[in-house]
Amino acid sequence: MIAIIQYNAGNITSVANAVKRLGYPCRVTDRIEEIRQAEKVIFPGVGEAGSAMVYLRERKLDKVIPSLVQPVLGICLGLQLMCASSEESNTECFGIFNTTVKRFPATGIVPHMGWNNLSVKGSPLFAGLVKEDTFYFVHSYYAGICDQTIATCHYLVPFSAAMQKDHFFATQFHPEKSGSVGEKLLQNFLKM
């Protein structure tokens, strides 16, 4: 079973529907025992970092998620909360990835919304995908580039489009909204 973490963030239904279309059973949950017992965990989200971390702390998920041993995929806000901290509401996050999350500069249109291609380092998450493939982004904050960055994108500044540390993976873009290439990336994760 695939656990999709519930934490009052948007886009969870879209992720659950994408996983089901690929033929995998899943459950949206914030129950610690279900998350720990899942074969894989997806940590999606659209929302605000500070209130999301309050919800996660109240349920002790801020301690559970970084301690998971199965493959974990963070999406959008999920990626940002896996970083050390966020400028959004001056939020301390999980610290899985060694970088901070910052707001895009006011010199351009924010949020960054639309389709972009990536510069990808080798990772099983991107197996079978090519550099011309584009992914769908919508975000006002971005994770800086660090040693765990496996794909970058450029919008006003270069940023981490995808990250990996051991069995923790994360994407700033939305694979569940990125058509067939996003479906392929989700399939790659679910087959790990």
From the list 153, 154, 176, 183, the catalytic residue is 176
Handedness of CA 135, 46, 65, 190 (dihedral sign): negative
Q: Which of 26, 83, 139, 174 is catalytic?
A: 174
- Rounded Cα distance between 92 and 87, Å, is 9
Query: Which residue is catalytic, options 76, 83, 93, 153?
Result: 76
Q: Are 158 and 90 in contact (CB under 8 A)?
A: no
Q: Is 48 a catalytic residue?
A: no
Catalytic annotation present for 112: no
Tokens describing residue 4: 């999709």
The Cα 108–Cα 72 span in angstroms is: 33
Report how far residue 91's alpha carbon sits from residue 114's, in angstroms, rounded to the nearest whole number: 26
Is residue 174 annotated as part of the catalytic site, yes or no?
A: yes
Active site residues per annotation: 76, 174, 176
